[in-house]
Every structure is written in structure tokens, then in C-alpha cells.
Amino acid sequence: MTHDEKPSRPQRSYPAVYEKLIPIALALIALATLAALGFAVAVATGFLP
Amino acid sequence: MTTVLTFLPFASSLISFVFAALVFRRYLARRRPYLLLWGIGMTMYGIGGFCEGYYGAFGWNPLTFRLWYLFGAMLVAAWLGQGTAYLLIRRRWVHGLMLVLAVASLYGAVRVFTAQLDPAAMGSSLHTGSELSGRAIVSGGVRTLTPFFNLYGTAFLVGGAVYSAWIFWRKRILLHRVIGNVLIATGALLPAFGGSFSRLGIGGALYISELLGAILLFLGFLRATTPLPQESAQK
């Protein structure tokens, strides 16, 4: 067996549904956090009542 | 609507107290500081919900209002966030932050309990006054403190949960912790949004979001601390 033929370490992965959903959920949470912070700043500066 | 404004906060209060009891029991077994702080934070969440329900059922009471504002509006997020800080930051630094939070909380308590109140001020063109609102505090400089506590708490609670979920997801390990942290981050964000919608005059938004927030935080904690069946089988 040559070096190239060495079996590579098996790639770990989550079930397919989580592979798709988790990055979307994390991105949405990050966006929502920015929106909440933006709202807080808008209220604090008097831009919103 | 009145029934809803009484039932929802009492329900979130009950869930929070059950959650707090579970976390305190775990703390007694493991003695980890983050569990103690989350237990304290969820007790504050429960007190806040109870005071909102009390206002819906029996009307205005100055002591109930002060307890609600101190624990439910000012301190809850910061103390929950401090619990997460204990999971993420070096001991020496986090003890310093804890000291600052404790002193700031004492100062906040003194300011809230000595503030002048006017329940009529809770009603405005946007806010009906059917839900408790910090507008009832007439004295200056008290409500100004609250965003600092909430920003600190949200940064650690939501930021910490997202950071942990991201780290585990990147390594494709501990799926239960990824799911748990996503639920915790969402649960922590919901009351912040509810407060914003309530400020814009959407009735019931705050209490609904607090109830959903308590449920998601509880489910997130349970998920994060309980491995999935297939994960246990892999060990």
C-alpha cells in the first residue's frame, strides 16, 4: 500500500437534516441579535419612542 | 385579553421556577458556578413572571412593580449571561466580572426600591398600560441602567450559546449540545423581541415571548445536558 492509498480518517458528519438546519438557525439568530441591538440603540437614541 | 395577560405570565413563572429547581438540584450535585447562576437567573425570571401575573389578576401594587422591574426587567438576563460567562472565560477574569455585576445589581436594587412611581405613566399613545412597563418609574437615571445589564446579559447568553454551538458544529461533535445551544440562544432572544414589540404597542407580545422564551430555555438546557440516543450508542 502506497502513501496515497492510505485510508483517510473517516469524515464525521451529523444527520443530513441537522447539517442543513443548524447553519441556517445560527445565521438567523445572528441576524435577530443584530436587529434587537439595533432596536435597542434606536430607542436609546430617541429615534424610536 | 385580561385572562391571557394573567395566565401567560403565571405559566412562564411556573416553568421558570421548575427549571430553577432542576438547575439548583444539579448544582448541589456538581457544585459548578454556572449552574448556581442559572438557577438564580431562572428564579428571577420566575419572580418577574409572577409579578406580571399578579398585576393582571389584582392590579397595581408598588412592591410587586419594584420586584418585577428589578428582577424581571433589569437583572434576569445579566445573571443568566453571567452563568454562561463562567463556562467560557478564565476563572480570574470571570470572578472580576461577577464582582462588578454583584455591586451593580445592589446599586440597581437601591435605585429601584427608592424610585418614585406613577402607574398612570404606563399608559401612552402606544402602550395601553395593560402590561407592566418601566414607564411607571418617574425618577431619572433608573431606567437608564437597564440596557447596560441587558446588553451584558444578552451578549454572553446569546453570544455564548451561538459560539458554543458553532464550535461543536464545526467539529461535528456533541450534536445534543449544538441543538441545546440553538434553543437557548433563541429562547434568550425572544423576550428581547417581545419587549420591542410591546414598546411598539403590540398587546401581549411581551408575555407571549416570555412564555416561549422560558419554554425554549428549559428545553435547550435539557437537550444540552442529555446526549441523543445515537450519540450514547456510539460511545
In contact, B129 and B122? CB cutoff 8 Å: yes
Question: What letter represents residue B95's amino acid?
Answer: H
Distance from CA of A15 to the nearest CA of B (A): 9
C-alpha cell of B80? 443568566
Q: Flag whether B121 is in a domain.
A: no
Confidence band of B149 (pLDDT split at 50, 70, 90): very high
What string of DSSP letters covers B79-130?
HHHHHHHHHHS-HHHHHHHHHHHHHHHHHHHHHHHT--B-GGGG--SS--SS
CB contact under 8 A, A33 and B126: no
Which of A18, A29, A40 lies at the smallest CB-CB distance from B162? Answer: A29
Residues of chain A with Cβ-Cβ distance to B172 below 8 Å are 12-14
pLDDT in tens, B175-218: 999 999 999 999 999 998 888 787 777 778 889 999 999 999 99
Structurally, chain B folds into a number of domains equal to 1
Q: What span, in angstroms and rounded, lies between the C-alpha atoms of B205 and B227? A: 34
CB contact under 8 A, B179 and A43: no
pTM as predicted: 0.89
Q: Flag whether B64 is in a domain.
A: yes
Q: Quick check: B151 contacting A, CB < 8 Å?
A: yes
Q: Which of B212, B14, B210, B42 is nearest to B131 (CA)?
A: B210
CATH of the domain at B221: 1.20.1070
Q: Quick check: A40 contacting B, CB < 8 Å?
A: yes
CB contact under 8 A, B162 and A26: yes
Q: What span, in angstroms and rounded, lies between the C-alpha atoms of B35 and B53? A: 27
Chain A to chain B Cβ contacts (< 8 Å): 61
Q: What average pLDDT does the segment B122-136 reach?
A: 72
Q: What span, in angstroms and rounded, lies between the C-alpha atoms of A7 and A20? A: 27
Among B6-10, B110-114, B200-204, the range with the most confident prediction by mean pLDDT is: B110-114
> Is residue B86's pLDDT more than 60?
yes
> Is residue A11's pLDDT more than 60?
no
Q: Which of B14, B196, B73, B221 is nearest to A42 (CA)?
A: B196
The residue range of the domain holding B159 is: 2-116+127-229
Q: What span, in angstroms and rounded, lies between the C-alpha atoms of B76 and B118? A: 23
Q: Flag whether B234 is in a domain.
A: no
Which of B125, B175, B196 lies at the smallest CB-CB distance from A18? Answer: B175
C-alpha cell of B152? 451584558
Instruction: Give Cα B130 distance to the centre of its chain.
Output: 21
Q: Flag whether B122 is in a domain.
A: no
Q: What span, in angstroms and rounded, lies between the C-alpha atoms of A33 and B195? A: 14
Q: What average pLDDT does the segment A13-42 reach?
A: 89
Q: Flag whether B31 is in a domain.
A: yes
Q: What average pLDDT does the segment A21-27 reach?
A: 94
pLDDT in tens, B101-110: 999 999 999 9
C-alpha cell of B93? 477574569
pLDDT at A1: 45
Q: Quick check: A42 contacting B, CB < 8 Å?
A: no
> Is residue A10's pLDDT more than 90?
no
In degrees, to the nearest 5, what angle opens at C-alpha B191 toward C-alphas B4 and B204?
25
What are the φ/ψ torsions at residue B113 (nearest 5 degrees)?
-80, -10
> Is residue B170's pLDDT more than 90?
yes
pLDDT in tens, B153-163: 988 999 999 99
| Residue of chain B minimizing CA distance to A37 | B151
pLDDT at B124: 60
pLDDT at B128: 56
> Is residue A6's pLDDT more than 60?
no
Q: What span, in angstroms and rounded, lies between the C-alpha atoms of B73 and B87? A: 24
Distance from CA of B86 to the nearest CA of A (A): 21
Long-range contacts of B99-107 (CB under 8 A, 24+ apart): B101/B152, B104/B145, B104/B148, B104/B149, B105/B75, B105/B78, B105/B79, B105/B149, B107/B145
Q: Which of residues 8-37 of A touch B (CB under 8 A)?
A: 12-15, 18, 22-23, 25-26, 29-30, 32-33, 36-37
Q: What average pLDDT does the segment B145-151 reach?
A: 89
CB contact under 8 A, B196 and A30: no
Three-state SS annotation for B185-228: HHHHHHHHHHHHHHHCCCCCHHHHHHHHHHHHHHHHHHHHCCCC
